[in-house]
Amino acid sequence: MPVLASHRKPRTKVRTTTPAVGFTTAALASVTLLSTQSATAAPAEPKPAIEDVQKKVDELYRQAGSATQQYNRAKSASTAQRTKVDTLLSDVAKRTEKINEARRELGAYAAEQYRTGGIAPTATFFLADDPQAYFDQSRLMSRSTERQQKAVDDLRTQQAAASKKRAEAVQSLEKLTETQTALRSSKQNVQTKLTEARSLLSRLTAEEKARLAELERKKEAEAKEKAERLAARQAAEAKEREAAEKKAREEAAKKSGGDSGSGSGSGTGTSPGTGTGTGTGAGGSYAAKAEKVLAFARAQIGKPYVWGAAGPSSYDCSGLTQAAWREAGVTLPRTTWDQVEVGTRVATSDLQPGDLVFFYDDISHVGIYKGDGMMIHAPKPGANVREESIYYMPIYGSVRPA
């Protein structure tokens, strides 16, 4: 029997591509996600230029110097206020002790009255052996009681006044303490910025550090050059003054000599000599003080700058100037803001050794002029007391303290 052919159409094998489509879709999604992340990611912050780093650090040092002066002022005020409070408390304690003594006396008097029974005055009069003695004793007791009462009233009044002053002083001290705490906090903020700047400096490459050092050397060289020009100008002016003074003395001598012979010669020697001696005496007085100031300042070279310090192992800028002038017998205030108000203002071209030179618009730094455009100062955190050109920082002004 013939085999019947199958009427079923054979199946066509279809190759599925679903997995491939899934993989491609996932891949595309991943690429899209990565592309989106790359597009939205914040760009890397550009590294600051070396010049900007230098400016930032210098500005932070200036801010630290200003904060230090604020701290010094608050500390001085706080110390003075604390002394006042201690004096008031001591006074109050003495007054209170006097009141206690008066109370003890009154207590003894009251106890004596209690023991005697407190007899009525009329009965005491009739029972007394001598009526006149009664009147004398009565007047004495009355005066004694009045004196004791008055003493108590006076002491209570004094105690109230002292307590009021004590409360005012304590309140004032609390305010000063709060201000000092706020200033210390502000100082800490500046120190944090300084730490950030130092951290930035530490991340510089060797090449960048070399470039920064070169910028610093250039700045120092420019400041030194200005100092040398000032020194040359001052020397020339001094020479001109000396020549003018010599000429004036010679003319005076000729004029005196023309009046009479030998007698005028003797007078000539006396007159100019006296004038010169007076001038030298005045100048010599300041020069002698300045010599002591500079001798002290030189002895501190190499000691570290520490904010709020006034010696003997470390200094801030105004602490050094205060200590140095103290050696010459001159008492200066603690802060640059107060020191700039002491003495006589002088122009930069007229500076003499010992003068104080102040810097920045906020008067946050000070140094001691040593001559030839140079100064001795306590520069900044991380540095030591040293000599430097006065042109290293922008000059505000100068004073002659004595």
229: phi then psi, degrees, rounded to nearest 5: -65, -40
Q: Which of 284, 295, 286 is nearest to 330 (CA)?
A: 286
Q: Are 346 and 399 in contact (CB under 8 A)?
A: yes
Q: Which of 150, 236, 184 is nearest to 71 (CA)?
A: 184
Q: Which of 235, 238, 227, 237 is nearest to 367 (CA)?
A: 227
Q: Which of 253, 376, 271, 365 is nearest to 317 (CA)?
A: 365
Q: What are 268's two structure tokens?
A: 């000539």
Q: Reduced to 3 states, what is the DSSP secondary structure of residue 356?
A: strand
DSSP state of 391: G
Q: Are 314 and 70 in contact (CB under 8 A)?
A: no
Q: Which residues are catalytic?
A: 317, 365, 377
Q: Which of 323, 273, 285 is nearest to 303 (CA)?
A: 323
> Which residue, chain included where needed, has tokens 């004495």?
140
Q: Are 208 and 50 in contact (CB under 8 A)?
A: yes
